[in-house]
């Protein structure tokens, strides 16, 4: 029951803004028409939502007049995301190189496309591109044990990422995302709620992907929803409707 209530609050809190449909419409439009900038603006918009939730600012959804600021903030957020996945990405290519070093050198163009996609479209490049390469290129392969280690590196980074951004929201400094002691301490202090927020996040992404042609708007909708889910792990006033 508690998890369902958390889903309901996270999915629907933004609808309290009378202008939420228009704001979400433009958010999805940015993602659809202006990649890669749309992705980064969505990340920056998410950060602004998090700041407003933390400070109790109304309306919680900002207008799009500050889109330039969202782009700059989103690029910084993208840098944090890519930095957390550096161990995974480097290990991935190290394993692929060891399996077939000649083939990797011969396919330097594919390596360049991989790197560019990770930078320009981090949600796609980091999450989906390795699987695409494994499917398309026989030379891009790893052993079973290596795949297990890569999974640990990938999901470990993904699991810690929301906590890292919570540190950014608290201090308003992006350098705080790399204070791994605080990142881990936050997870340990709110472990059950943090897991619940992760389940809410996965559910929101699943719903967004199920919207098919409306996926750009669905994915944009997940950003505020996920932000709310994790913000509520340490802000009691956001959990006021949750049963104790």
In whole angstroms, give the CA distance from residue 210 to residue 81. 25
Task: Kindly report the pTM of this predicted structure.
Answer: 0.90
Cβ within 8 Å of residue 153, ≥6 positions away: 87, 88, 91
**Token match 């006033």: residue?**
237
Which residue in 155, 132, 182 sits closest to 84, CA to CA? 155
Please give the mean pLDDT across all residues of the chain.
89
Structure tokens at 180: 């791994």
Which residue in 223, 234, 154 sits closest to 192, CA to CA? 234
- What pLDDT does 238 receive? 62
Helix axes 37-55, 144-171, angle to 10 degrees: 50
What percentage of residues in the chain have a pLDDT greater than 90? 63
For residues 25 and 222, the answer to whether their CB atoms sit within 8 Å is no
Question: Where residue 1 falls among pLDDT bands split at 50, 70, 90?
Answer: low
User: pLDDT tens digits, residue range 46-85?
Assistant: 999 999 998 888 899 999 998 999 999 999 999 999 999 9
């Amino acid at each position: 029951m508690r998890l369902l209530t958390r889903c309901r609050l996270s999915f629907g809190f933004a609808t309290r803004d009378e202008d939420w449909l228009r704001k979400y419409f433009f958010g999805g439009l940015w993602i659809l028409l202006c990649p890669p900038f749309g992705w980064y603006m969505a990340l920056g918009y998410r950060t602004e939502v998090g700041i407003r939730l933390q400070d109790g600012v109304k309306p919680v959804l900002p207008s799009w007049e500050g889109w330039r600021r969202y782009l700059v903030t989103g690029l910084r957020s993208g840098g944090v995301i890519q930095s957390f996945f550096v161990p995974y990405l480097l290990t991935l290519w190290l394993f692929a190189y060891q399996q077939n070093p000649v083939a990797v050198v011969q396919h330097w163009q594919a390596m360049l496309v991989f790197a560019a996609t990770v930078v320009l479209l981090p949600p796609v490049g980091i999450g989906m591109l390795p699987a695409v390469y494994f499917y398309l290129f026989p030379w891009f392969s790893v052993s079973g044990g290596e795949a297990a280690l890569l999974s640990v590196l990938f999901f470990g980074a993904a699991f810690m990422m929301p906590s890292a951004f919570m540190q950014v929201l608290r201090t308003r400094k992006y350098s705080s995302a790399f204070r791994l002691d605080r990142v881990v301490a936050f997870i340990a202090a709110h472990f059950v709620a943090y897991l619940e927020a992760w389940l809410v996040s996965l559910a929101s992404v699943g719903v967004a992907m199920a919207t098919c042609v409306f996926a750009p708007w669905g994915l944009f909708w997940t950003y505020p929803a996920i932000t709310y889910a994790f913000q509520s792990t340490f802000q009691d006033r956001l959990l006021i409707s949750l049963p104790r």
